[in-house]
Amino acid sequence: MASTPVQPTTPAAAYDGYTAYGYLAPGADYQHFELAEEVGRMPAYRIDLSEADAARAARLMADNIVLSLHEHAIVLPEDGDQIRRYNRTGRQRTGYRGLAHSGLTAVIDNFMAGASCVTSQHGWKWDDMIYALGFRLADLAKQDYVRLATSTQDIRDAKRDGTVALIAGFECSTMIENELDRIDMLYGFGVRQLGIAYSQSNMLGSGLSERDDAGLTNFGRRAVERMNKLGMLIDISHSGDRTCLETIEHSAVPVMITHAGARSVWPIDRMKSDETIIACAERGGLIGLEAAPHTTLSDAHPTHSIDSVMDHFRYCVDLVGIDHVSFGPDTMFGDHVAVHRAYAGNYAQKSPDGIAHPRVEYVEGLENPGENFWNITSWLVANGYSDEDIVKVLGGNALRVLDEVW
């Protein structure tokens, strides 16, 4: 019998944060946008399971901590042409309804998806980051379903209480400029994860889009030491190869590749080299497999889908073992490809040998935080993974690392 896990409903589906209760005066914030439905934007993806396997998948989700290493748990405007204007308000809306259906215990939410674009397209301005962070945290404070998590105990408490723990993160540290104490300030505001560089180089190190990688700077070494001392997770997903390796080496605790894939499966700069994945694992860290459109492709599945993502998953498990692999799908409630179009033009996909592939409008099976882990769990069950291994990659591996880092 074909079936999929039943997604539970919860009173959280009614929560829309403080904007829904009139705490913001009418103006150029949310009221001017037609927001997309948080779930159901695209056709639901089905993995055919027997009745017994569907029950097993639902049990694994219900009984264990499920932690996404990287999402943007926000709702985008339905009209993609409004995304720039929406982001410039600095007031992105948390997808409470979608999170209520997600099965997630915890999610690392990277706030900079819109915070970087309030006054500048790529500037990562300090004031913009704090502005957007403050609004999101105020919104969280006016509802009681999604809780800001600043410790692993908060994550465990969320599982006990049937709520969702949201971990605040930024994908890069560019906005701290050369001010080391800004890391302390971000920690004080509740941020528990920072990336080193976001594709472009900054004061800490080199991004993956640079022609040359100078590695972790002297200031970057001091920043790593400060993050270690405070207990802040370091992410190297968007850093260059040398910067990644030197960050791993210099950190006293494990670091994470929260959202990437294997370059040996799809050889583009956005993916990570075997050397980096192995070094990260050897120091106790892990890689989270991502699903941002046109990233984790494979020769076997050149049109982006859960199957192409799982090609990277299988490769990484074979490379470093199941204890060092997890998932950070990097999705949002709305059209991710429209974000690419808004900020990077016509986001065409070519294979490493220059052959053009069809540009997809969404990643089939991993399109938003509300569906990702239901489909990941169903895929793992359908492909014969043991309960023990599934529990590890759903959240057990991530929680082990966070216990050490935080």
pLDDT tens by residue, 4-51: 443 433 433 333 443 333 333 333 333 334 444 455 567 778 899 999
Q: Give the number of other Cβ atoms within 10 Å of residue 212's Cβ.
A: 9
Asked whether 205 and 182 are in contact (CB, 8 A), the reply is no
Whole-angstrom Cα distance, residue 306 to residue 161? 30
Q: Give the number of other Cβ atoms within 10 Å of residue 271's Cβ.
A: 22
Burial string for 181-207 (b: 16+ CB within 10 Å, else e) reads ebbbebbeebbbbbbbbbbebbbbbbb
H or E segment at 216? none
Whole-angstrom Cα distance, residue 124 to residue 176? 9
Asked whether 172 and 112 are in contact (CB, 8 A), the reply is yes
Asked whether 76 and 83 are in contact (CB, 8 A), the reply is yes
pLDDT at 118: 77
- At 139, phi and psi to the nearest 5? -65, -45
Whole-angstrom Cα distance, residue 216 to residue 239? 10
Whole-angstrom Cα distance, residue 318 to residue 349? 27
Kindly tell me the sign of the dihedral angle through the C-alpha atoms of 258, 261, 267, 273: positive
pTM score, whole prediction: 0.90
pLDDT at 249: 98
Instruction: Report the Cα–Cα distance between both ends of the chain, in Å, rounded.
Output: 44
Pairing between β-strand 191-195 and β-strand 164-170 as defined by DSSP bridges: parallel
Whole-angstrom Cα distance, residue 76 to residue 93? 8
Nearest 10 degrees: Cα torsion 169, 106, 403, 240: -40
Q: Give the number of other Cβ atoms within 10 Å of residue 131's Cβ.
A: 16
Using only C-alpha atoms, the chain has a radius of gyration, in whole angstroms, of: 20
Q: Report all structural domains of the chain as residue ranges with CATH numbers, in order of start.
A: 11-405 (3.20.20.140)
**How far does Cα 130 stand from its chain's mean position?**
20
Kindly tell me the sign of the dihedral angle through the C-alpha atoms of 222, 227, 228, 234: negative
Residues in the chain predicted with pLDDT less than 50, given as ranges, are 1-37
Whole-angstrom Cα distance, residue 233 to residue 191? 9
Kindly tell me the sign of the dihedral angle through the C-alpha atoms of 287, 291, 296, 298: positive
Question: Which residue from 95, 91, 97 is spatially nearest to 136, judged by alpha carbons?
Answer: 91
Distances (CA, A) of 160 to 100, 102, 130, 163, 389: 15, 16, 31, 8, 22
pLDDT at 199: 87
